[in-house]
Amino acid sequence: MIKILLIDDEPNVIRGWRMRLALEDDLAVVGDARDPETAPLMARVTQPDVILLDLMLTGRNGADLIPHLFKAAPGCRIIVVSIYDNAGNRYLALQAGAAAFVAKQESPETLLTTIRAVMA
């Protein structure tokens, strides 16, 4: 079972991810955080295998959180998920240590494939 922590400041995005991921037998959402202040705490408490991280959080760039998330949950893999899909944001996320970047406009299957790929 792949344990997933969701970090996004949009409640509808969290709800949508939860609903879609619940359909998968090998994936389990273990928690969510909706602001950059509680995200590291949730990572420490839940010890997820994968973190889905929005790139643009209220008041903070999600890429800035990546080192704090790794400290809180060593060994986790971070997938940055953003509506702002461009070369600069992809570079920023990957340079910060993200395992992958998925545009929110892509199909849910792309996200599922990416989750499983970073765990392989």
CATH number of the domain that residue 102 is part of: 3.40.50.2300
- Looking from the CA of 75 toward its CB, the CA atoms found within 13 Å total 7
Check whether 113 has a pLDDT greater than 80. Answer: yes
Total domains in the chain come to: 1
Give the residue from 50, 24, 52 showing the smallest Cα distance to 109: 24
Check whether 61 has a pLDDT greater than 90. Answer: no
- Global pTM value: 0.95
Mean predicted confidence (pLDDT) in 46-53: 98
Rounded CA separation 29/35 (Å): 17
Tens-digit pLDDT profile for residues 26-39: 999 999 999 999 99
Q: What angle do CA 97, 100, 106 make, to 5 degrees?
A: 150
Range of the domain at 96: 2-119
As given in the structure block, the two tokens for residue 72 are 């809180």
